[in-house]
Amino acid sequence: MKSGDRPPTDSPASAPAAPGATPDVLAIADRLHSAAIHLLRRVRKQDVATGQGPARLSALSVLVFGGPKTLGGLAAAEQVKPPTMSRIVAGLARSRLVNIIADPRDGRCMQIRPTNKGVRLLQKGRQLRIAYLASHLDALAPADLAKLDEAVEILKRLLEA
């Protein structure tokens, strides 16, 4: 190993054995995991154009696609502690991307809802990501694009199971 290289930590050999998973399945899972992370990192670079950081965009996405949430519900969805989510929501509110209103069922609870501006910003970010991805997919041969389309359908079925 060259100096500065880190030992692999996410290889199938170092991953906990999945019950019944063959070495071939583990190797595919490892490659898919790596490809998914690299793909997400690349498309997330387009988010810079929105002027919002990844944590804010992620929380806003939960609200836009999942509906209004309490601070605790949003923190749980984003897997962060409530104080962290409080800071994220405060930033979203300062940018007028969310409204914080009293819950109609319990005035002590606050509901966080995306504003129209927040929805538009998230849609713009999504369009930028899709355009970036499409510009790279456009370079694929038609047969490879068809294979990728099939793979996407397989992934969707896997995620629905």
- Going along the chain from its start, the domains and CATH numbers come out as 25-160 (1.10.10.10)
Residue 134 contacts residue 63 (beta carbons within 8 Å)? no
pLDDT above 70 (res 102): yes
Give the mean model confidence (pLDDT) for residues 108-120: 94
Query: What is the pTM assigned to this prediction?
Result: 0.75
Rounded-to-10 torsion of CA 51, 88, 122, 72: 180
The encoded tokens of residue 134 equal: 């499409």
Distance CA 94, CA 100 (A): 11
Report which of residues 113 and 10 the model is more confident about.
113
What is the predicted pLDDT for the residue at 107? 75
What is the predicted pLDDT for the residue at 4? 43
Q: Which of 12, 40, 41 is nearest to 28 (CA)?
A: 12
What mean pLDDT value characterizes the chain? Answer: 88
